[in-house]
A and B are shown apart, each in its own frame.
Chain A
């Protein structure tokens, strides 16, 4: 499964571009594979603030709805309008065009894991 080495991961299957500062958040290819065809995504508004582990939105496949979890203490600074209207982009390009939100972390995220650890985590899943 594709887990780029330059990214950090949550155990809820979000990817994050860094552990502090302004970072981009998306959903991993593994999670997309499990969900199946993505038909809708519900994202927060710019300016909304969340605690680590809060649900910041939902992602829906033809069959199920899953929560999206905030990787740290953060404020939303940008939302990917492309995926809001074309949710299939998340499936086609989960690490690139299919990013979800950009956030400003107010403190370094403490619970992210690296690519190798995420890969072994999903093998046990």
Chain B
């Protein structure tokens, strides 16, 4: 079992630990519900060091990434990031990721923990068509701390020296900037996975524990608390942020996953484009839909969705919704069988519970506040 550079901190904080794709990670410290509310109301920090970090450098880096990823890389200014994905030739999603342009010929990607090896192989394979692309998988040596919630700005500003305060306080949503912390150059991005205003700090493992402690030391001003992966999941689901391995995999296209807004079908060629374009012309047969329970109970991944007694799909993520109230989730359903407003049933261990298809998201993001 792998441990992050913050493992000792979690032990000191008496976190409940779980196995998460080969990593020993904190699921909760105080209880999932309390942690969830704390992020919505104050601020929390998450150890997400299990996630992967790749560097993509070189004269052809941008052309290469324009080919490899589904979003329009040419739209990125230096210091800006975008949500994107990599797809196979059939248009199935290999992973979703955040791609930052950190220099004229330098990019930085954050990928899912479970996919690091697979993704890096795919990155390398794609790079063989380009001459001047250097790839580095920095995942082993880098940690990531997410700082999320209304008080997140105050917490991250405490890490930054006086001359950088203004630059960091003004960092727009999805942008990334260098900060110096404990003698290391770290990357601070105004991104997150909770639906709240927040930041993600990428830093060398050697700086992780002191950064974590420095953030927790702002507690008297910011009321910051450590938050586990349990609340990270309920927070992201209320905001309808997809989770790779749950809501999509290599059989699901970006159109089916509902991220056509991140897919440059009108732009340059990219891997998987022709398959995705054909799917768009023909119409998708499945789609990720959001549903809210009308009955008591909690939907879980893998439960069957029915409409008028007919099997129309499957729950991909389900949970209680601490901020929205009730419970619900995301489901991959046959697109011609149900629309927003329809009543469907979820088969909860043999009991058919009523649920209503609703517009995404359940919780309106405050990321740009």
**In the complex, chain B residues whose CB is within 8 Å of the CB of A60:** 297-298
B361 on the A face (CB < 8 A): no
20 contacts between A and B (CB under 8 A): A36-B16, A36-B28, A36-B32, A36-B230, A37-B31, A37-B32, A37-B34, A39-B33, A39-B320, A40-B320, A40-B327, A61-B32, A62-B32, A62-B33, A62-B230, A62-B234, A63-B27, A63-B32, A65-B349, A84-B296
Q: Is the CB–CB distance between A58 and B349 below 8 Å?
A: yes
Q: Is the CB–CB distance between B298 and A36 below 8 Å?
A: no
Alpha-carbon distance A117/B195, docked complex (angstroms): 47
Flag A46-60 by CB within 8 Å of B: 1 or 0 each: 000000000000101
**Most chain B C-beta atoms within 10 Å of own C-beta, residue among A37, A39, A42, A58:** A37
**In the complex, chain A residues whose CB is within 8 Å of the CB of B298:** 39-40, 60, 65
Alpha-carbon distance A36/B322, docked complex (angstroms): 14
Task: Please give me the residue from chain B that is nearest to A64 by CB atom.
Answer: B300
Which B226-243 residues have C-beta < 8 A from chain A?
230, 234
Query: Interface residues, chain A, CB within 8 Å of chain B?
Result: 36-37, 39-40, 42, 58, 60-63, 65, 84
Alpha-carbon distance A65/B300, docked complex (angstroms): 9
**Nearest CB in chain A: distance from B26 CB, A:** 12
Alpha-carbon distance A63/B229, docked complex (angstroms): 11
Q: How many A-B residue pairs have CB under 8 A?
A: 38
Q: Is the CB–CB distance between A40 and B234 below 8 Å?
A: no
- How many B residues touch A, CB cutoff 8 Å? 18
**In the complex, chain A residues whose CB is within 8 Å of the CB of B300:** 65
Flag B135-169 by CB within 8 Å of A: 1 or 0 each: 00000000000000000000000000000000000
A42: contacting residue among B16, B31, B297, B327, CB under 8 A? B297
Alpha-carbon distance A65/B31, docked complex (angstroms): 16
Q: Is the CB–CB distance between B349 and A62 below 8 Å?
A: no
**In the complex, chain B residues whose CB is within 8 Å of the CB of A58:** 349
B115 on the A face (CB < 8 A): no
**Nearest CB in chain A: distance from B30 CB, A:** 10
Alpha-carbon distance A112/B272, docked complex (angstroms): 61
**Known contacts A62-B230, A62-B319; is-contact A36 B31 (Cβ 8 Å):** yes
Q: Is the CB–CB distance between B33 and A37 below 8 Å?
A: yes
Alpha-carbon distance A37/B16, docked complex (angstroms): 13
Alpha-carbon distance A84/B297, docked complex (angstroms): 10
| A-B complex: 8 closest residue pairs judged by Cβ atoms | A62-B32, A39-B320, A37-B33, A37-B31, A40-B298, A60-B298, A37-B32, A62-B230
Task: Please give me the residue from chain A that is nearest to B320 by CB atom.
Answer: A39
**Nearest CB in chain B: distance from A59 CB, A:** 11
Alpha-carbon distance A40/B328, docked complex (angstroms): 13
Task: Please give me the residue from chain A that is nearest to B31 by CB atom.
Answer: A37
Which B10-56 residues have C-beta < 8 A from chain A?
16, 27-28, 31-34
**Nearest CB in chain A: distance from B228 CB, A:** 10
Given A37-B34, A40-B320, 10 more contacts at CB 8 Å?
A36-B32, A39-B33, A39-B320, A62-B230, A62-B234, A62-B320, A63-B27, A63-B32, A63-B230, A84-B296
Alpha-carbon distance A36/B31, docked complex (angstroms): 6
Alpha-carbon distance A84/B295, docked complex (angstroms): 12
Task: Please give me the residue from chain B that is nearest to A62 by CB atom.
Answer: B32
Alpha-carbon distance A19/B296, docked complex (angstroms): 32
Alpha-carbon distance A36/B34, docked complex (angstroms): 11
Task: Please give me the residue from chain A that is nearest to B351 by CB atom.
Answer: A42
Alpha-carbon distance A39/B34, docked complex (angstroms): 12
Alpha-carbon distance A99/B4, docked complex (angstroms): 40
Which B268-324 residues have C-beta < 8 A from chain A?
296-298, 300, 319-320
**In the complex, chain B residues whose CB is within 8 Å of the CB of A65:** 298, 300, 349
**In the complex, chain A residues whose CB is within 8 Å of the CB of B31:** 36-37
Alpha-carbon distance A60/B190, docked complex (angstroms): 35
**Most chain B C-beta atoms within 10 Å of own C-beta, residue among A36, A61, A62:** A62
Flag B211-224 by CB within 8 Å of A: 1 or 0 each: 00000000000000
